[in-house]
Amino acid sequence: MTTRRVTLVDVARLAGVDKAIVSRVVNADPSLVIRPDTRERVLEAISNLGYRPNVAARSLRTAKAGTLGLVIPDFANPVYAEIITGAESAALARGHVLVTGSSTGAHSSMDRYLDLLGQGRVDGLMLAGPTTAREQQKLESLGLPWMMVNRRDTGEHHRFVILDDAQAAKLAVEHLLELGHRHIVHVAGPFGADTARRRATGYRQAMKNSTHPVRAEDIARGDYTPRGGAEATAELLRKSPGATAVFVANVAMAVGVLDTLRRAGLRVPEDVSVVAVHDLPLAEHLVPALTTVRMPLQELGARAVDLLLTSSPEDEVAEVVGTAMELVYRESTAPARP
Amino acid sequence: MTTRRVTLVDVARLAGVDKAIVSRVVNADPSLVIRPDTRERVLEAISNLGYRPNVAARSLRTAKAGTLGLVIPDFANPVYAEIITGAESAALARGHVLVTGSSTGAHSSMDRYLDLLGQGRVDGLMLAGPTTAREQQKLESLGLPWMMVNRRDTGEHHRFVILDDAQAAKLAVEHLLELGHRHIVHVAGPFGADTARRRATGYRQAMKNSTHPVRAEDIARGDYTPRGGAEATAELLRKSPGATAVFVANVAMAVGVLDTLRRAGLRVPEDVSVVAVHDLPLAEHLVPALTTVRMPLQELGARAVDLLLTSSPEDEVAEVVGTAMELVYRESTAPARP
DNA sequence: CTGAAAGCGCTTACAG
DNA sequence: CTGAAAGCGCTTACAG
């Protein structure tokens, strides 16, 4: 029972018109002038036959794939889950399908995806997360519209959308200052991540409102993992004793921070307050529930799609999505003891 | 500077052969007999021009899209992140691109995806998570090869891949029995989820080796969320006092279980042991770190892809992926006190 | 208001 | 060993 695909020709024959008419009805061609009863016959034929346009034929003809690509490092990272959700929603709203690939799987890599998606399979490509200069070069060579997400590109032709990480850091530090903390230390992210650099910058700026001047010993760097957060905390406990609060660059490291403080016999928030960036679902399930800064990750993904679709590939794009940031006050921060 | 796409014809002209030859070289046609120097010329032309086959044209001609679709409920759920990772890897290994969509976004829905992906955009479709009878009917009407993942389909023509949830439950309960627990209660998942039903069945079976017979009061149902776990635990505390261990159907509910036990003044694991299904990253970050049963979620995704690609759409598929299950012993379980 | 025709770029059976 | 030709299903400019 191999039922042949229903094509425009089948619909045209049933409706008694030319296939060009059917095509223009299907695509709601505004320049089409058609008698109501003719349109009715066409619509009926489409419905009766269960006609669906063949996307391959359409793509070949129009040179548009109707899909967008997004390459992320890892599906298991909830930060990217949020970005994907926002991007998918915006893509669908604009009539596109989103193809999301990860660059760290067993058979995948950024390179592999650039090959796979650079053959007319997608109309544009978004890269989230770390990218090498070689990858970026390859990306440009594909001749596809592209966009970096949550990361500044390294080339001279900028096309990126990021969040206001400095502002997020300020919100966190200001929260601690309001609670009366002065000696606030920072568990920063890896040097290579520019989100980490921007959060560290925001920390330094906000600390100008503290009576405690920031010294090199007040900052320790981790690799955005729980273990990295644990090691950085151990380092700070040695280098910067007396701190009453910690601003942590991400939630994963905060897990290690909480653990190390606990093992050192310090209570959170009674002895030390802790606040971290990104209000991931995990945050409220930690003990104590983690105070965080919520950033508009979904909107970041949505904005990337919009810009990819509406900007000309030659345009420079350097946008900071700055809406809807807020401090989520939970159990891990409390007033400094007098 | 609108550089026209490089096509087969361009390559053929440069290499001084017909485009049919180029096509067969590109696709490594085994029936092709060609002089080494001719092949060399073709390869060189491809490389010099940076030729990439147009996938739309190829799809139109071969009636194969080279992509597979996977619809999940939610990107933020780490269980699906694992399934995606495994499916993506298997798809790439077989030369396919995976399109993953979520059915709960602002502009998406299962229905929307079934429309979007049922137009020759994908060669097959996998559905993970809950599906209505209507959706399943629509799925079948698309005439696409399909597969249910982590869930049995409700139709009469079975095509599903699931994990051995009953066996996972047995591993968990046996672990508790070995630790000396006898009165073990169960926080079960929602009635509608067949993963939940299978885990409950496994619990009952394994409890036959306990001196404590399972009564209705030993089981409470939650909706797979932290809040649901909390409420079920409160119910069990009332209905089934004296239990020394809890088997929880998933990690999300376990978060609520731990919280409720703590508020009730019970210590984990000193007073009550807790074990849950799926070794998600979250598990080791809870306090106390959660003992879990690790199930091969990535392999589940990979197997779904393999079966989708290798089985004929008319075949019945009812596979249980049973490899590599193991108990991960952490801090939330301990020997029963004598 | 509607129809005929060209052509997007590829693959494949066939001819030589 | 290599070339010529048909045709996948659609869109679009043009003719009538």
DSSP collapsed to 3 states, chain A: CCCCCCCHHHHHHHHCCCHHHHHHHHCCCCCCCCCHHHHHHHHHHHHHHCCCCCHHHHHHHHCCCCEEEEEECCCCCHHHHHHHHHHHHHHHHCCCEEEEEECCCCCCCHHHHHHHHCCCCCCCEEEECCCCHHHHHHHHHCCCCEEEECCCCCCCCCEEEEECHHHHHHHHHHHHHHCCCCCEEEEECCCCCHHHHHHHHHHHHHHHHCCCCCCHHHEEECCCCHHHHHHHHHHHHHHCCCCCEEEECCHHHHHHHHHHHHHCCCCCCCCCEEEEECCCHHHHHCCCCCEEEECCHHHHHHHHHHHHHHCCCCCCEEEEECCCCEEECCCCCCCCCC
Query: Residue B246 corresponds to which tokens in the numbers above?
Result: 């809890």
- DSSP for residue B74: -
- CATH 3.40.50.2300 maps onto chain A at 65-163+298-321, 165-294
The answer to whether strand D lies under 7 Å from the CB of residue B281 is: no
- Mean pLDDT across chain B: 92
| Nearest chain A alpha carbon to B79 | A76
Give the CA-to-C1' distance from A243 to D1 in angstroms.
Answer: 80
Read off the amino acid at residue A100: T
CA distance B210 to A319: 62
CA nearest A112: which of B123, B91, B100? B91
Q: Which residue has the higher pLDDT, B206 or B34?
A: B206
pLDDT of B237 = 97
Distance A143 CA to C4 C1' (A): 36
Chains A, B: CB pairs < 8 Å: 140
Multiple choice CATH, A65-163+298-321, 3.90.230.10, 3.30.70.120, 3.40.50.300, 3.40.50.2300: 3.40.50.2300
DSSP B271: T
A35 touches strand D (CB under 7 A): no
Nearest to A89 among B98, B99, B107 (CB): B107
Rg (CA), chain B: 26
Longest C-alpha distance within chain A, in Å?
87
Residue ranges of chain B that CATH labels 1.10.260.40 = 8-53
pLDDT tens-digit profile of A282-336? 898 888 999 999 999 999 999 999 999 998 888 899 999 988 899 999 999 999 9
Residues A17-33 pLDDT 10s: 999 999 999 998 888 88
Least confident of A110-114, B8-12, B121-125: A110-114
Contact check, Cβ <8 Å, A53/B119: yes
What per-residue confidence (pLDDT) applies to A314?
Answer: 84
- Give me the residues paired with residue A98 across strands: A68
By mean pLDDT, which of A42-56, B111-125, B295-309 is the weakest? B111-125
Q: Which nucleotide is nearest to A12 (CA to C1')?
A: C3
Q: Report the alpha-carbon distance of residue B4 to residue B125 in Å, rounded.
A: 34
Contact predicate B226/B204, CB 8 Å: no
Q: Which residues of A touch B105 (CB under 8 A)?
A: 85, 88-89, 92
Token duo for residue B51: 């030729």
Nucleotides of C under 7 A from a protein CB: 1-5, 7-13
**pLDDT band, very low/low/confident/very high, at A276 (cuts 50, 70, 90):** very high
Q: Which of B60, B117, B286 sits opposite A57 (nearest CB)?
A: B60
A204 CB less than 7 Å from any atom of strand D: no
Give B98's contacts in chain A (Cβ within 8 Å): 99, 101
- What pLDDT is attached to residue A1? 38
Q: Name chain A contacts of B100, Cβ cutoff 8 Å.
A: 100
B59–A75 C-beta distance less than 8 A: no
- Tens of pLDDT, residues B46-91: 999 989 999 999 999 999 999 999 999 999 999 999 999 999 999 9
Protein residue closest to D12, using CA and C1': A20
Class of domain A165-294 (CATH, top level) = alpha beta
CB of B277 closer than 8 Å to CB of B250: yes
Residues A121, A64 contacting (CB under 8 angstroms): no
Contacts of B65 in chain A (CB under 8 A): 56
Q: What CA–CA distance (Å, rounded) separates A331 from B20?
A: 69
**What residue is closest to D13 (Cα–C1')?**
A20
Q: How far is CA A96 from CA A99, A122, A201, in A?
A: 10, 10, 37
- Using a 10 angstrom Cβ sphere, with 0-12 exposed, 13-18 middle and 19 or more buried, the burial of residue B205 is middle
Which pLDDT band, with edges at 50, 70 and 90, does B106 fall under?
A: low
Among B85, B93, B97, select the one facing A76 at the smallest CB separation: B85
Does residue A8 lie within 7 Å of nucleic acid chain D, judged by its CB? yes
Mean pLDDT score, B312-316: 86
Residue found under tokens 């955009």? B121
What architecture is domain A8-53?
Orthogonal Bundle (1.10)
| Nearest Cβ partner for B121 among A97, A100, A117 | A97
Nucleotide nearest to A17 (CA to C1'): C2
Which pLDDT score is estimated for B118? 75
Provide, as residue numbers in chain B, all residues whose Cβ is less than 8 Å from the Cβ of A65. Answer: 55-56
At residue A77, what is the residue type? Answer: N
Distance between B165 CA and the closest CA of chain A, angstroms: 22
- B66: tokens are 């080279």
Q: Which of B285, B290, B305, B332 is most worth mutating to test chain A (most A CB atoms within 10 A of its CB)?
A: B285
A288 preceded by a cis bond (ω within 30 of 0)? yes
Angle between helices B110-117 and B133-141 (to 10 degrees): 0
Q: Gap from A46 CA to D4 C1', in Å?
A: 37
Class of domain B65-164+298-321 as given by CATH: alpha beta
How sure is the predictor about B109, in pLDDT bands with cuts at 50, 70 and 90?
confident
Cβ <8 Å between B285 and A255: yes
Q: How far is the CA of B4 from the C1' of D15 (A)?
A: 29
Hey, is B172 helix, strand or coil? helix
* Closest by Cα among A128, A242, A286 to A194: A128
With CB atoms and an 8 Å threshold, state whether B76 touches A82: yes
- Which chain A residues are closer than 8 Å to B54 by Cβ? 60, 119-120
pLDDT of B215 over the 90 cut:
yes
CA R_g for chain A: 26
With a cut of 90, say whether residue B324 has pLDDT above it.
no
* Angle between helices A251-263 and A226-239 in degrees, nearest 10: 50
**Tokens linked to B298:** 């990535």
pLDDT tens by residue, A89-136: 999 999 999 999 998 876 667 888 888 887 789 999 999 988 888 888
Place of tokens 């890599």: A109
> How many Å apart are CA A186 and CA A168, to the nearest integer?
13
Domain limits, CATH 3.40.50.2300, in chain B: 65-164+298-321, 165-294
Check CB contact under 8 Å for A108 and B100.
no
Instruction: Look up residue B78 and give its two tokens.
Output: 């780490």
- Mean of pLDDT over chain A: 92
Distance between A15 CA and the closest CA of chain B, angstroms: 21
Distance CA B155, CA A101 (A): 31
**Contact criterion met (CB < 8 Å) for B56 and A53:** no
Q: What's the pLDDT tens digit per position in B136-189?
A: 888 888 888 999 999 988 777 889 999 999 999 999 999 999 999 999 999 999
Q: Which residue, among B211, B212, B184, has the nearest Cα to B200 in the 3D structure?
A: B184
What is the pLDDT confidence band of residue B296, given thresholds at 50, 70 and 90?
Answer: very high
Residue A107 half-sphere exposure, CB side, CA atoms within 13 Å? Answer: 16
% of chain B surpassing 70 pLDDT: 98
Nucleotide nearest to A19 (CA to C1'): C3
Amino acid at A258: L
Angle at B209 between CA B206 and CA B215, to 5 degrees: 70
